[in-house]
Amino acid sequence: MLPIAEYSYRVQPLDVDFKEQMRTTQLLGYMLHTAGQHADENGFGIHTLHSTGRAWVASRIAMEIDRYPMAEEAFHIQTWIEDFGRVFTTRNFRFLNANREEIGGGTSIWCMLDMESRKAIDLAHSEYASFANGIPSPVSRAAKVAGVQAEAISRHRVKYSDLDFNHHANSMKYIEWMMDLFPLDFFQTNAVKRLDINYVSEIRFGEIVDIYRQQDAADRCRFDMRRGDDVICRTTMHFHAPFSLI
């Protein structure tokens, strides 16, 4: 396996927003697709793991982007595994434009679950540990996101279009639901600079979640997504410019 693997893409019409700029959730989706492709090619992707009753589960993800690719633009994503611990493994990413200039990066923390027992599998002495190369992330590690002290501002019932192949709501949907809570004119002049996502639990078809939002800095919002008292996901969004929700 190469120390750093690289995959090339082109921005498709379905990836962009009204400014013909790639949407944050689409870029995050490409990042996770790159992780999956790399894992598949090296024998520890979802198809191999599911046949043995195991699965990768994301715990924390961070993504930073200085400039979003535009419609029809070519771009590249590099990925590698930094380390394997007893429970968690760290996978990193770098985004390059067509001229091979760095435009962003990401990092993620994963654990492997036994799907029957729902318990984490010890990775420290597994056959996967040899894939770690120790190369650090180009962005700071995914942060622990504090809870929101505010009232819920939105409620969502999980529908068919929200589901992934595991019959759970797709994790990209969480971010879409949160971003849809901003007015349209907000995105005329602003874009997400950094995301920190903490995945705590999963949600299934028909379940109802409430979304809480709190602006805690001039250029930053935090979100909680909860099912009753159970936290599903916590997210911080940093934006390129200051704003006010009032």
Supply the pLDDT for residue 85. Answer: 87
Q: What share of the chain is helix, strand, coil (3-state, %, to 5)?
A: 20, 40, 40
Task: Determine the Cα–Cα distance for residues 36 and 15; give it in Å rounded to an integer.
Answer: 19
Of the candidates 116, 39, 53, which has an alpha carbon nearest to the alpha carbon of residue 81?
Answer: 39
Token pair 């819920």 is found at 152
141 in any annotated domain = no
17 plus 85 within the same structural domain: yes
Give me the domain span that covers residue 108: 5-131
Alpha helices by DSSP H, listed for the chain, are: 24-41, 46-50, 171-179, 186-189
CATH, residue 203:
3.10.129.10
102 plus 170 within the same structural domain: no
3-state secondary structure (DSSP) of residue 19: coil
User: Torsion angle, CA of 201/234/158/228, rounded to 10 degrees?
Assistant: 70
Supply the pLDDT for residue 51. Answer: 76
Supply the pLDDT for residue 1. Answer: 59
Of the candidates 108, 123, 98, which has an alpha carbon nearest to the alpha carbon of residue 64?
Answer: 108
What single-letter DSSP state applies at residue 22?
B
User: Torsion angle, CA of 177/183/187/191, rounded to 10 degrees?
Assistant: -50
**Beta strands 88-97 and 54-65, pairing class:** unpaired
205 plus 235 within the same structural domain: yes
26 plus 89 within the same structural domain: yes
Task: Provide the whole-model pTM.
Answer: 0.92
144 in any annotated domain = no
127 plus 158 within the same structural domain: no
Alpha helices by DSSP H, listed for 9-108, are: 24-41, 46-50
41 plus 123 within the same structural domain: yes
Beta bridge partners of 84: 89
127 plus 156 within the same structural domain: no
Contact 82, 91 (CB under 8 A): yes
34 in any annotated domain = yes
**Mapped to the 3 state alphabet, what secondary structure does 189-219 carry?**
HCCEEEEEEEECCCCECCCEEEEEEEEEECC
Number of folded domains that form the chain: 2
- Given a cut of 50, the residues of the chain with pLDDT beneath it are none
Own/partner long-range contacts of 199-202 (Cβ < 8 Å, ≥24 apart):
199/57, 199/58, 199/59, 199/60, 199/61, 199/171, 199/232, 199/233, 200/231, 200/232, 200/233, 200/234, 201/227, 201/230, 201/231, 201/232, 201/233, 202/168, 202/169, 202/232
Whole-angstrom Cα Rg for the chain: 18
Supply the pLDDT for residue 228. Answer: 95
Q: What is the pLDDT of residues 62-117, one digit of tens each?
A: 999 999 999 999 999 999 999 988 889 999 999 999 999 999 999 999 988 877 77
Q: What is the pLDDT of residues 147-159, one digit of tens each?
A: 999 999 999 999 9
125 plus 177 within the same structural domain: no
10 plus 122 within the same structural domain: yes
Token pair 């046949």 is found at 51
118 plus 194 within the same structural domain: no
Supply the pLDDT for residue 56. Answer: 83
